[in-house]
Copies of this chain bind each other. A is one copy, B any other.
Amino acid sequence: MSGLASTSTLQVSKIQVIGDESGTLMVAEGGRHVPFVIRRTFVVAGVAPGVRRGHHAHKECHQLLICLGGRLSVSVADGETREIFVLERAGDSLHIPPGIWAEQVYEVPGTMLMVLCDQPYAEDDYLRDFDQFLAWRAALPKEA
């Protein structure tokens, strides 16, 4: 085992969501809803329906994708299989470990995505070309 995740281990989970008459609170806490230390967070908004974003994998960075509203589908690939997960309720989350290619399609107007990362931004952690991603995975040491 190279230690890299396969798409079959991924699953949609949920952060804490508390709704009452004064609004909705979505909470993600390190060690509770987030399986890593949060070093960076980003939010994607204002994306037209049908637009596809992402198209990359990370060599080391873990990411937790969280739907803040609207609906998005997340296509993930490990080089052998591909799966699609739909985040369609506020608070729906998907942990994408390193070594997984991911693309997001924003399905409806107003869809917002929050991403929590365990690493600061580092351009050399990105694999932005799918063939390069496949070659990178293939070159990793196999089962020890």
Chain A contact surface mostly: strand
Cα of A89 to Cα of B35 in the assembled complex, Å? 31
Q: How large is the interface on A (under 10, 10 to 19, 20 to 34, 35 or more residues)?
A: 35 or more
**Among the listed stretches A94-102, A113-121, A128-136, which one makes contact with chain B, having 4 or more residues with CB under 8 Å of it?**
A113-121
Which residues of A (30-89) have their CB < 8 Å from a CB of B? Answer: 30-32, 37-48, 51, 53, 68-69
When A and B form their complex, which 5 residue pairs have the shortest distance between CB atoms, in order from nearest?
A23-B47, A38-B38, A29-B40, A24-B46, A27-B42
Give the contacting residue for A19; candidates B46, B53, B106; CB below 8 A.
Answer: B46
Give the contacting residue for A45; candidates B23, B29, B120; CB below 8 A.
Answer: B23
Chain A residues close to B by CB (< 8 Å): 19, 22-32, 37-48, 51, 53, 68-69, 90, 106, 110, 112, 114, 116, 120-121
- What's the least CB distance linking A78 to chain B, in Å? 25
Cα of A51 to Cα of B23 in the assembled complex, Å? 9
Give the contacting residue for A23; candidates B28, B53, B68, B114; CB below 8 A.
Answer: B53
Give the contacting residue for A43; candidates B25, B29, B121; CB below 8 A.
Answer: B25
Asked if A26 and B40 sit within 8 Å, CB to CB, the answer is no
Instruction: Please give me the residue from chain B that is nearest to A40 by CB atom.
Output: B29
Asked if B25 and A68 sit within 8 Å, CB to CB, the answer is no
